[in-house]
Chain A
Amino acid sequence: MTTSEIAVNMTSGSDRGGRAPLLSIRSVAKHFGKNVVLRDISLDVAEGEFLTILGESGSGKTTLLRIIAGFETASAGEVWMGEERLDRQPPYRRRVNTVFQHYALFPHLTVEQNVAYGLRVAKRPEMEIASRVSEALEKVKMSAHAKSKPSKISGGQQQRIALARALVNRPRLLLLDEPLSALDANLRRQMQVELKSLQREVGISFIFVTHDQEEAMVMSDRIALLRSGELEQVATPREIYGRPATAYAAQFIGHTNLLKGEVRGGIVRCGVLTWAAELPDGPVLFSLRPENVRLAAGNSASAGSVRVRGRVRHQAFHGATELIRVECGDGLVLVVRTPGSGGALNDVELEFSAADAVLVRESPERI
């Protein structure tokens, strides 16, 4: 794959069948004094899409969300919702609702009053408020706690109320700022599934911010990977996993082997590994997923596959699979994920298909 193909790949997920995007972020930048938090972010969100902004802490993901919600103003760039310029509107005029990281439920109001808040300030008729609130509470299975104060219910329940409070307003776009991070692992997994099915049911676009790549993979239609204030890659979970654009994307999402090498005359050389590829001469970097490397069987390599001998340095049994670190000489270490190998290994021969080695861009250090 050439670099121009990668560039095409990066944007391919965004224009879904040519429909106009619901939200369009155009060249947004943000700096606090000299501290640059976001740099030239352009991103479209389609109607009904579940988009995850994934990044480490300090990557600027929450700032981007706050710019969409209106709690921060962008230093440059524009945010559009359909034909409407969003970034000039105060937060209370945007048809966007947020589920806050620590829920931000009003402590002086009951669960029911919390959920009714948006409709009350919009001065909807009381009859309508009552029916919409009870419907929303039912949707998140919290009808029984309608009269409780937020301090009297658990974190997971507060989470559902925060969700109901936002969704009851029928926003065009829902923003979720690490809403599951405060929950324990089991509850989080359960909420991931619930949230995803709820999103399908209501058909509202979600922008979900998280630092958890597994969460992003499970829930999203597309993932926007943010690194130090810049978009690293925007693609579906399958694309971003199978065809990472950069070394950072390959490493951040799942495990990978990064192979550094050189192309000369149509031959790739990465240490002791060589294979043929139609690439221009020069330095190259490949990502090779551990599960794409096999323990070789039989004597002859099949067409298009690469074989290498090595010595097993470490074996970690994970149940369904096993991770094996193999030293192949010349400083090259390959991590291999195989189904249970059946016991201790020593010298092995590894095999992978050259097509599984994905050309990635280097991810330079950013300050």
Chain B
Amino acid sequence: MFSRAYKAAVTLPPLVWVTMFLLMPYLLMFCYSFWSVSASQTIVHSWNLDNYGQLLRVDVYWQTLLRSMWIAARVTVFSLVLGYPLAYFLSFYAGKKKDLLYQLVIIPLWVSYLVRAYAWKTILGSDGVLNTLLQYMHLTKHPLEFLLYSPFAVVLTLTHIYTPFAFLPIYAALEHIPRNLVEASHDLGATPGQTFWKVILPLSIPGVVAGATFAFVLSLGDFLAPLLLGGPSGIMISNIVVSLFGAAYNWPLGAAISFCMLLLVVTLLVFSERLEKKWSFS
């Protein structure tokens, strides 16, 4: 139907793009992860597994990676706990206000990430809004120090930022559920609660999986929130990668960590896609 020339013209630009900006950098990163840095701060192009060995040997690397996963896991759970009821309410009970509320959920996505992270800094700091309020109400005598520069602050901020990402696919999945299935369930004697557990929740699982994947993957790789709000106890693996590529000038080690993360994320995506397929019925 289409000529060969046409097909080539259409496929070539994206192919070039993917090669130049995706495959090449990844390949380069993969190569770097086997090289090393000499004492005179030059990259030595000799192939070995030292960087990966270091990753396992040096506590701070794998511990930070584990902590990052733990933070991401908490962010995922909180995003789902906030995002699901919101999506459920919007999809089933908001009626005519649906579109307006939907926009309100989406609007924060248009606000710069930095602005939102700084906003939390203002809220959580020693002289911040929250501490001032607590002391004003005589609930605390001194500013609560754990609020800012802690994993708590990171989890809170990332939850705030990534809840809309969890919300969106859940909302889409709920909107796709034919309403006559809900009616059929009620018709067969199921209360609204039973209908939720037996029909609505199972049919929205693909959305939940997609939302969880978004929240986990995005917060796992986050480095701004820990940088601004995490303090020493709240640093995440990306902060280490950033410093390895920057001040520390150890690109090979940074590449090795990056490659491990890439592997982790790809595994996760494959796994979540399988899960979504298994639970999709349309």
Contact = CB atoms under 8 A, between A and B. Distances in A.
B199 interface: yes
Contacts of A108: 202-203, 279, 281
Interface stretch (A13-21, A98-106, A266-274, A288-296): A98-106
Interface in A104-125: 104-108, 117-118, 120-122
Nearest to A100: B180
A97 B187 contact: yes
Interface stretch (B137-145, B162-170, B190-198, B226-234): B190-198
A117 B187 CA distance: 11
Contact of B180 (A91, A97, A102, A117): A102
A92 to B, nearest CB: 5
A135 B180 CA distance: 26
B190 A104 contact: no
Interface in B77-131: none
A98 B189 contact: no
B199 A106 contact: yes
A75 to B, nearest CB: 18
A166 B186 CA distance: 12
A97 B188 contact: yes
Given A104-B178, A108-B281, A98 B190 contact: no
A91 B183 contact: yes
A104 B189 CA distance: 15
B203 A107 contact: yes
A93 B189 CA distance: 6
A149 B278 CA distance: 13
Contacts of B202: 108
Nearest to A96: B187
B187 A91 contact: yes
A107 B198 contact: no
A67 to B, nearest CB: 13
Contacts of A90: 186
B125 to A, nearest CB: 48
A106 B184 contact: yes
Contact of B189 (A105, A107, A122, A149): A122
A98 B281 CA distance: 23
A100 B180 CA distance: 8
Query: For chain B, what secondary structure do more than half of its interface residues adopt (helix, strand, loop), or is it mixed?
Result: helix
B181 interface: yes
A104 B186 contact: no
A69 to B, nearest CB: 6
Query: Interface residues of B toward A: which range?
Result: 20 to 34
Given A92-B189, A117-B190, A104 B184 contact: yes
A70 B281 CA distance: 28
A317 interface: no
Most B CB atoms within 10 A — which of A108, A122, A166? A108
A100 B181 CA distance: 10
Given A104-B180, A121-B194, A151-B281, A98 B199 contact: no
Most A CB atoms within 10 A — which of B189, B192, B281? B189
B132 interface: no
A104 B194 contact: no
Contacts of A71: 183, 186-187
Nearest to B202: A108
Given A92-B186, A117-B190, A104 B181 contact: yes
B203 A121 contact: no
B282 interface: yes
A354 B168 CA distance: 71
B281 A121 contact: no
Nearest to B203: A108
Given A102-B180, A104-B178, A169 B188 contact: yes
A227 interface: no
Interface in A55-85: 69-71
Interface string A299-329: 0000000000000000000000000000000
B239 interface: no
B182 to A, nearest CB: 9
A98 B186 CA distance: 10
Nearest to B187: A98
Contacts of A100: 180, 183-184
B64 interface: no
B207 to A, nearest CB: 14
A133 to B, nearest CB: 13
A105 B188 CA distance: 11
Nearest to A149: B281
25 contacts: A69-B183, A69-B187, A70-B186, A71-B186, A71-B187, A92-B186, A92-B187, A92-B188, A92-B191, A97-B187, A100-B184, A104-B180, A104-B184, A106-B181, A106-B185, A107-B181, A107-B281, A117-B185, A117-B188, A117-B198, A118-B188, A120-B198, A121-B185, A121-B190, A121-B198
Interface of A: 69-71, 90-93, 96-98, 100, 102, 104-108, 117-118, 120-122, 149, 151, 165-166, 169
Interface of B: 178, 180-181, 183-192, 194, 198-199, 202-203, 279, 281-282
- Which 7 A-B pairs have CB atoms at the shortest separation, nearest pair first? A107-B281, A118-B188, A104-B184, A104-B180, A121-B190, A91-B186, A92-B186
Given A92-B191, A105-B184, A107-B281, 9 more contacts: A69-B187, A70-B186, A97-B188, A104-B181, A108-B279, A117-B198, A118-B188, A121-B191, A149-B281
